[in-house]
């Protein structure tokens, strides 16, 4: 099949990026309009493609000539949904950027790299071959780096360093995994991986390549212990870029994890447990960090990390539940979609705050949102969505994920207590989500500001639209789960488990709002209320000198994996050791030559020269400095001396031998 239409959503933004750059050299206004148009066209294109796919068609394209091994693209339900999400996010953030980026330097660069990243990201989601995925994945990593460091402040540069280092190291480790995987399976094509993996006599051969590839994708997804870039990069990147990083680039990493889980390790218990464990740690750690954080965007970034943990828990459950994993499939897919849309809303809201106040510290922006009903409502929609409150979209996906854990606990037998613990951690993390979102909401929209905020328009109509439209979608999705969410899940499920073709999906209407399902959400909300009232309000605030309450971050700053382990090892220890060994090797030949010229091949002394100049063609080193030494060392008496020393040593040796013998 050669459906060339599949190149269009990749090449359109790339061509648009170059065109926008050239236009931007002439007129900034035209460039902004053009970039918006590209975003909207991309959205329209992806929407049309999704419509075609949902009517049952699949597209595939193989371009064999390119990059030595050829690119393979495919469009099915999951990818169509995710391409559309990517397009939506880029459309909204690009529109918002017009105002947000208004006063930045180097905007041309920003638009160039944003649109390039869009092309690469869509490429990742359309790829049908890990080779192709890797190509677009690497392009995406590098182009998004420029988005992170856009404002070039020292903090941004440092965060960018972390980001690019994680991306490059992750990419290299992943590449090694791909080499091994291809060597063992003979293919990287998604359609053939499954049968190749099943025919392998010993599947344990696949764990090493699997782990290496997981490192690469997990680093991008923000999975523990490679999450370090997330809380650093988001606060310093421009808000539209943070929305993209958090909402969609992390999902590109999750996409890779999904491919591994569904194609290479289908229904593999060990793999499922590893993903589940990493996912649980990520989920809890992210939520805890978010509760402690006092920086608006850092809180949202940690929240992203935590939500990725939720998604990974779902992925782990997919593998563990085997043939009964439909709930987990739906939960994972929908939580990805929900998180993307919610983070779009929340980060753009944060962008509005920053655009006006140039502050992200909760103590400085406290109360800034009062009397701003539009922003208030939009932020609230996002907060309720992510907190998993019934009637909002997050509730649906979290409930599905929760149900899948409950289902497996019932099946697990003797190890059930482990999964019971995971279930409780899941609910508690949900509670922490409620707590930190409440903290943000109360701080920005409820508490009284230190000095009255002057009334003036705080965002343009276009920006308002870019926030309000996605914010409105969230409750609509949550109120009618059987319509929008279920049909999206039906589109996505086949990608996440190819064996679903032969099994039944969830046909019976799910009782979304039954008491059983509401229970989990209610537990989470109660935990959240308790944490907020008993921990955040009393323990995480202090009264400053003037007696005002302010938020403090009590998380010990020493406890930072990056500063504690990664940077010392990678920046200092390893290069030092490597360079030490290499310097010795590097000079080995020279030292050998030097040793020879000073011993066996000693040169005759040359009379010292009066003039210090060298003649061209005179290659013998100037003797003046070591002249005296040379005079001595080349004299007959010196040679005799050395001969005598050697003779003495030999005699001593002989005497010792004689003594030993008798």
Partner 1 sequence: MDKNYLLLIPVLLPAAAALTLSARPMRQRGPRDVFMAAILTAELIFTALCAAVVDGDVVVARLTDELYLTLRLDGLGKIFSLLVAFMWLMSGLFSHEYTVENPRRYCAFLLLSEGALMTLCYAGNYLTLYTGFELMTVLSTPLALHNQTEGARRGGVKYLLYSIFGACLGLLGFFTLRVYGVTTDFTPGGVMDLNKLTGHEGFVLTAAFLTVVGFGAKAGMFPLHAWLPAAHPEAPAGASALMSGVITKAGILSMIRVIYYEFGTALLRGTWVQYALLALSLVTVFLGSMLAYKERLFKKRLAYSTVSQVSYVVFGLALMTPVAFTGAILHVAVHSAIKDALFFTAGAVILKTGKKDVRELRGIGKEMPVTMWCFTICSLGLVGIPPLGGFVSKWYLAEGSLSSGIPIFSWLGPVVLLISALLTAGYLFSVTVRAFLPGADFDYESVQKREPTWWITLPLLALTVLTALLGLFPGIVCDLAAAVAGTVC
**Shortest Å distance, C-beta 580 to partner 1:** 10
**By CB under 8 A, is residue 585 in contact with partner 1?**
yes
Given the complex with partner 1, which of 142 and 513 has the nearer CB atom? Answer: 142
Given the complex with partner 1, which of 143 and 340 has the nearer CB atom? Answer: 143
Helices 28-54 and 107-126, axial angle in degrees (round to 10): 10
305 neighbors 451 (Cβ within 8 angstroms): no
349 neighbors 312 (Cβ within 8 angstroms): no
| Tokens standing for residue 124 | 């990742």
> Among residues 55, 414, 546, 589, which is the contact residue for partner 1, using CB under 8 A?
589
> Among residues 33, 169, 465, 518, which is the contact residue for partner 1, using CB under 8 A?
169
Contacts of 466 by beta carbon, 8 Å cutoff, 6+ apart: 92, 93, 95, 96, 348
State whether the Cα torsion 287-342-339-466 is positive or negative: negative
**By CB under 8 A, is residue 572 in contact with partner 1?**
no
Taken as a whole, the chain contains a residue count of 662
Given the complex with partner 1, which of 589 and 599 has the nearer CB atom? Answer: 589
Provide the β-strand partners of residue 550.
542
Which of these segments, 410-418, 420-428, 450-458, 580-588, binds partner 1 (CB under 8 A)? 580-588
**By CB under 8 A, is residue 573 in contact with partner 1?**
no
**Shortest Å distance, C-beta 112 to partner 1:** 11
Separation of alpha carbons 19 and 34, rounded Å: 9
Separation of alpha carbons 346 and 562, rounded Å: 26
Contacts of 540 by beta carbon, 8 Å cutoff, 6+ apart: 291, 292, 551, 552, 553, 554
> Among residues 3, 36, 58, 182, which is the contact residue for partner 1, using CB under 8 A?
182
Given the complex with partner 1, which of 47 and 172 has the nearer CB atom? Answer: 172
Separation of alpha carbons 14 and 136, rounded Å: 12
Separation of alpha carbons 526 and 438, rounded Å: 12
Separation of alpha carbons 246 and 303, rounded Å: 10
Separation of alpha carbons 363 and 447, rounded Å: 10
State whether the Cα torsion 98-378-449-527 is positive or negative: negative
Given the complex with partner 1, which of 134 and 255 has the nearer CB atom? Answer: 134
Q: Which of residues 292-331 bind partner 1 (CB under 8 A)?
A: none
Site size with partner 1, rule: CB under 8 A: 43
Rg of the chain (C-alpha set): 31
Q: Which of residues 596-625 bind partner 1 (CB under 8 A)?
A: 614, 616, 619
**Shortest Å distance, C-beta 612 to partner 1:** 12
Separation of alpha carbons 384 and 70, rounded Å: 45
| Tokens standing for residue 273 | 């447990």
Q: Mask: binding to partner 1, 57-96, rule CB under 8 A, as x and -?
A: --------xxxxx---------------------------
Separation of alpha carbons 344 and 339, rounded Å: 8
Which of these segments, 166-174, 250-258, 595-603, 632-640, binds partner 1 (CB under 8 A)? 166-174
> Among residues 5, 180, 391, 472, which is the contact residue for partner 1, using CB under 8 A?
180
> Among residues 582, 594, 651, 654, which is the contact residue for partner 1, using CB under 8 A?
582
**Shortest Å distance, C-beta 265 to partner 1:** 21
Separation of alpha carbons 163 and 220, rounded Å: 9
CA 117 → CA 25, 180, 244, 453, 512, distances in Å? 20, 28, 10, 37, 37
> Among residues 36, 58, 151, 361, which is the contact residue for partner 1, using CB under 8 A?
151
**By CB under 8 A, is residue 147 in contact with partner 1?**
no
Q: In terms of Cα–Cα distance, which of 257, 300, 308 is closest to 282?
A: 308
> Among residues 548, 583, 602, 609, which is the contact residue for partner 1, using CB under 8 A?
583
Contacts of 504 by beta carbon, 8 Å cutoff, 6+ apart: none
> Among residues 7, 41, 52, 168, which is the contact residue for partner 1, using CB under 8 A?
168
- The Cβ of residue 166 has, within 10 Å, a number of other Cβ atoms equal to 24
| Tokens standing for residue 633 | 């060392």
**By CB under 8 A, is residue 153 in contact with partner 1?**
yes
Separation of alpha carbons 4 and 97, rounded Å: 31
**Shortest Å distance, C-beta 251 to partner 1:** 21
**Shortest Å distance, C-beta 359 to partner 1:** 17
| Tokens standing for residue 292 | 């402690």
> Among residues 2, 57, 183, 462, which is the contact residue for partner 1, using CB under 8 A?
183
Which of these segments, 153-161, 213-221, 292-300, 499-507, binds partner 1 (CB under 8 A)? 153-161
| Tokens standing for residue 644 | 């005598």
Which of these segments, 237-245, 413-421, 582-590, 643-651, binds partner 1 (CB under 8 A)? 582-590
Scan for tokens 């990749």, then name that residue.
Answer: 10
Q: Mask: binding to partner 1, 211-250, rule CB under 8 A, as x and -?
A: ----------------------------------------
Q: Mask: binding to partner 1, 91-120, rule CB under 8 A, as x and -?
A: --------------x---------------
Given the complex with partner 1, which of 143 and 438 has the nearer CB atom? Answer: 143
Given the complex with partner 1, which of 186 and 452 has the nearer CB atom? Answer: 186
Separation of alpha carbons 263 and 489, rounded Å: 19
Given the complex with partner 1, which of 65 and 454 has the nearer CB atom? Answer: 65
Separation of alpha carbons 143 and 223, rounded Å: 21
**By CB under 8 A, is residue 173 in contact with partner 1?**
yes
Which of these segments, 21-29, 75-83, 131-139, 493-501, binds partner 1 (CB under 8 A)? 131-139
**Shortest Å distance, C-beta 252 to partner 1:** 15
Q: Give the residues lining the site for partner 1 (CB under 8 A).
A: 65-69, 105, 134-135, 138-139, 142, 149, 151-154, 157, 160, 164, 168-169, 172-173, 175-176, 179-180, 182-183, 575, 578-579, 582-583, 585-590, 614, 616, 619
């Amino acid at each position: 099949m050669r459906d060339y239409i599949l190149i269009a959503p990749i090449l359109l933004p790339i061509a648009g990026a170059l065109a926008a750059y050239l236009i931007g050299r002439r007129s900034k206004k035209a460039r902004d309009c053009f970039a918006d148009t590209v975003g909207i066209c991309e959205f329209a294109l992806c929407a049309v493609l999704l419509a075609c796919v949902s009517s049952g068609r699949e597209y595939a394209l193989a371009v064999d000539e390119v990059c030595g091994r050829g690119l393979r693209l495919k469009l099915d339900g999951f990818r169509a949904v995710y391409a559309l999400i990517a397009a939506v996010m880029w459309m909204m953030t690009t529109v918002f950027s017009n105002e947000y980026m208004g006063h930045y330097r180097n905007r041309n660069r920003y638009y160039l790299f944003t649109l390039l990243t869009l092309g690469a990201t869509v490429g990742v989601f359309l790829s049908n071959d890990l080779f192709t995925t890797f190509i677009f994945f690497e392009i995406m990593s590098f182009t998004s780096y420029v988005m992170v460091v856009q404002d070039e402040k020292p903090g941004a540069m440092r965060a960018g360093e972390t980001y690019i280092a994680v991306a490059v190291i992750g990419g290299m480790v992943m590449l090694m995994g791909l080499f091994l995987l291809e060597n063992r399976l003979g293919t990287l094509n998604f359609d053939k991986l499954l049968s190749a993996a099943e025919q392998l006599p010993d599947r344990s051969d696949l764990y090493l390549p699997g782990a290496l590839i997981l490192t690469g994708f997990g680093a991008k997804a923000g999975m523990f212990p490679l999450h370090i870039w997330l809380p650093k990069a988001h606060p310093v990147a421009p808000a539209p870029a943070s929305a993209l990083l958090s909402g969609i680039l992390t999902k590109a990493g999750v996409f890779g994890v999904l491919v591994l889980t569904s194609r290479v390790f289908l229904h593999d218990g060990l793999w499922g447990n590893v993903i589940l464990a990493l996912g649980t740690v990520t989920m809890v750690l992210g939520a805890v960090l978010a509760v402690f954080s006092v920086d608006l965007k850092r809180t949202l970034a940690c929240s992203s990390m935590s939500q990725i943990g939720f998604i990974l828990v779902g992925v782990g459950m997919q593998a563990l539940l085997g043939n009964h994993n439909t709930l987990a499939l739906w939960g994972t897919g929908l939580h990805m979609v929900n998180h993307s849309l919610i983070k779009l809303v929340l980060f753009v809201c944060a962008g509005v705050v920053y655009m006006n106040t140039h502050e992200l510290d909760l103590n400085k922006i406290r109360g800034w949102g009062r009397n701003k009903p539009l922003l208030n409502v939009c932020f609230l929609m996002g907060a309720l969505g992510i907190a998993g409150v019934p009637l909002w979209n997050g509730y649906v996906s979290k409930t599905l994920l929760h149900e899948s854990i409950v289902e497996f606990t019932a099946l697990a037998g003797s190890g059930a207590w482990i999964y019971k613990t995971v279930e409780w951690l899941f609910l508690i993390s949900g509670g922490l989500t409620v707590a930190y979102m409440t903290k943000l909401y109360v701080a920005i929209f409820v508490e009284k500001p230190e000095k009255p905020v002057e009334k003036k328009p705080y965002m343009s109509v276009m920006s308002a639209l870019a926030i309000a439209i996605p914010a409105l979608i969230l409750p609509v999705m949550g109120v009618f789960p059987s319509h929008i969410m279920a049909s999206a899940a039906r589109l996505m499920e086949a990608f996440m488990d190819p064996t679903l073709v032969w099994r039944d999906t969830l046909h019976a209407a799910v009782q979304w709002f039954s008491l059983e399902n509401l229970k989990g959400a209610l537990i989470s909300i109660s935990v959240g209320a308790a944490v907020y009232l008993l921990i955040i309000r009393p323990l995480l605030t202090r009264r400053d000198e003037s007696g005002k309450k302010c938020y403090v971050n009590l998380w010990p700053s020493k406890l930072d994996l990056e500063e504690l382990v990664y940077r010392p090892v990678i920046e200092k220890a390893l290069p030092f050791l490597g360079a030490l060994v290499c310097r010795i090797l590097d000079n080995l030949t020279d030292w050998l030559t030097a040793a020879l010229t000073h011993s066996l091949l000693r040169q005759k002394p040359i009379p010292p020269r009066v003039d210090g100049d060298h003649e061209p063609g005179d290659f013998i080193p100037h003797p003046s400095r070591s002249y005296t030494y040379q005079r001595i060392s080349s004299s007959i008496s010196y040679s005799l001396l050395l001969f005598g020393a050697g003779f003495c040593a030999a005699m001593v040796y002989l005497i010792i031998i004689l003594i030993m013998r008798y």
